[in-house]
Structure 1
Amino acid sequence: MQPVDIVKQIATLRHSPYTELHWIPRTPQRAPGGPSVRQHHAVASRDLGERDWAVIDPMLVRTSKGVRHRFTSAMYFWQRTRSHVWCESQAERWEVLWLDYGGQVERLWTQPMAIAFGHGTRLAGHWHVPDLLAQFTDGSYGLFDVRPAERIDERARMQFDQTAKVCDTLGWHYQVLTGHDPLATQNLDCLSASRHDRCKPAPEVEVLILGAAWGGKMRGELCRIASPACPPLACAWVDNLAWRHLLHVDLAAAFSSDTVYTTLERIPGEGQPDV
């Protein structure tokens, strides 16, 4: 479905005085040139918030300006569901990266639905497509909007406040993601290259690395310990353990082979004497 078709449907279906949710149900792939998928819509309520939102398709209403904004929309691989999350901007990609690292989100969708505000709200007649829908590890849902702090004006603040009220009605979480320390984000981006299962060390190597890191050890040293014959081979193993929070690293500091990694729990019999 083209973005303009979605916008027309939202406008056509705005017949209720109440705040509504509009979404696209997941259907088999339609043939090129076939009929558009009809949106579903319903008044925002606690019952609506408890439905299975995993069976929807993203709306993808907006399109990136690409090079004009120094970013071409990209797909972020979400390993927990082995699917891709569409990111419209670099800011969205960074926030998806941090959500992935946080480990509290099980599933993630981009631009999942439209919220059409009712007559009793300050945004009556307007609609808003939140940036992200998350299903958390405890099964609950939540919406995220991405906006750098310096770009949140009075209009955006009003929109976010009304979206928060809708989420409260649905029984969902809501948060505006405003960015992170740039250096920490760049460091996390480096670690994320080793987040995939193929970068996990063998169990005996994992124990060796964690034991050696008790009390703190530089990244380069850990690589030499894990793979004496070829230390660069172990870089992905060490970074994978940091991504999985088995090793602690200060993301706000400069990242290099001298970066100190520390295990949070001592591994008896490895690296330190057992007492």
Structure 2
Amino acid sequence: MYYWQRTRSHVWCESQQERWEVLWLDYGGQVELLWAQPLAIAFGHGSRLLGESHVPDFLARFTDGSLGLLDVRPAKRVDDHARLQFEETATICGALGWRYKVLAGHDNRATTNLDCLSASRHDRCLPTRETELRILEVAVGGRTRGELCRIVSPDCPPLACAWVDNMAWRRLLDVDLAAVFNSETVYTTADSVHEGRAA
């Protein structure tokens, strides 16, 4: 199960691979609602899979209001039959005006680091507006996670870890998820924040 904060409900995942992909979807911020195994597609006349069926892993409603089906399958596990199944599903989605994508995985270290960040995605980890502005100011040009925490909470640096991680989750701070994640990890005020504050 994955806690989907936008709806304050859980999304059922059939495997850890699916849970990792849901984590990335959550971080991406383009999916508003997500349903697990929402429907079955029965392939009929004109399909190369006549008589077969397929249950996509997820149905997504995106933030622009559009819908789409998502399947999770590592690239190395996509055989000829699965490829055909995905092609036929994409054709049906196209006819419905829906999106379709096969989620094939991410870098293992980046996923592990994102999982660490996700522990601070909840509202309870939000810094005050004043603290958030201070962190954004200090992180211009880049600061290590340890430095940021010591600067914004000198009496108790560990308290600030949740704040800076929450801001990285919300993409207010840039961080290289593919690098080793520790107190020396560099956080930088995101370019989009620079642009937004300059406007």
Pairwise TM-score range, normalised by the shorter structure: over 0.9
Quick one: which of 83, 98, 123 aligns to 1:197?
Answer: 123
Match of 2:87 in 1: 161
Quick one: which of 48, 51, 55 aligns to 1:125?
Answer: 51
Name the CA distance, whole Å, in 2 between partners of 1:215 and 1:186.
25
Name the CA distance, whole Å, in 2 between partners of 1:124 and 1:76.
34
Shift of 1:266: 4.6
Aligned to 2:154, the other structure's residue is in SS state coil
TM-score of the pair, normalised by structure 2: 0.95
Match of 1:230 in 2: 156
Quick one: which of 18, 29, 40 aligns to 1:92?
Answer: 18
Quick one: which of 173, 176, 179 aligns to 2:102?
Answer: 176
Match of 1:241 in 2: 167
Name the CA distance, whole Å, in 2 between partners of 1:205 and 1:228.
13
Is 1:210 matched up with 2:136? yes
Match of 1:79 in 2: 5
Aligned to 1:145, the other structure's residue is in SS state strand
Aligned to 1:108, the other structure's residue is in SS state strand
Name the CA distance, whole Å, in 2 between partners of 1:102 and 1:188.
11
- Cα deviation, 1:21-60, whole Å, max 9, x if unaligned, reads xxxxxxxxxxxxxxxxxxxxxxxxxxxxxxxxxxxxxxxx
TM-score of the pair, normalised by structure 1: 0.69
- Cα deviation, 1:76-125, whole Å, max 9, x if unaligned, reads 01011111100010110000000000000000000000000002111111
Name the CA distance, whole Å, in 1 between partners of 2:58 and 2:90.
13
Match of 2:176 in 1: 250
| Amino acid aligned to 2:158 | P
| Amino acid aligned to 1:139 | G
- Tell me the number of residue pairs that the alignment of Structure 1 and Structure 2 aligns: 193
Match of 2:67 in 1: 141
Shift of 1:233: 0.6
The answer (yes or no) to whether the contact 1:91–1:179 under 8 Å persists in 2 is yes
Any unmatched runs of 5+ in structure 2? none
Name the CA distance, whole Å, in 2 between partners of 1:266 and 1:232.
26
Match of 1:259 in 2: 185
Q: CA RMSD in A?
A: 1.0
Aligned to 2:115, the other structure's residue is in SS state helix
| Amino acid aligned to 1:259 | T
Q: Which one has the largest radius of gyration? A: 1
Query: More helix by proportion, 1 or 2?
Result: 2
The answer (yes or no) to whether the contact 1:220–1:258 under 8 Å persists in 2 is yes
Any unmatched runs of 5+ in structure 1? 1-74, 268-275
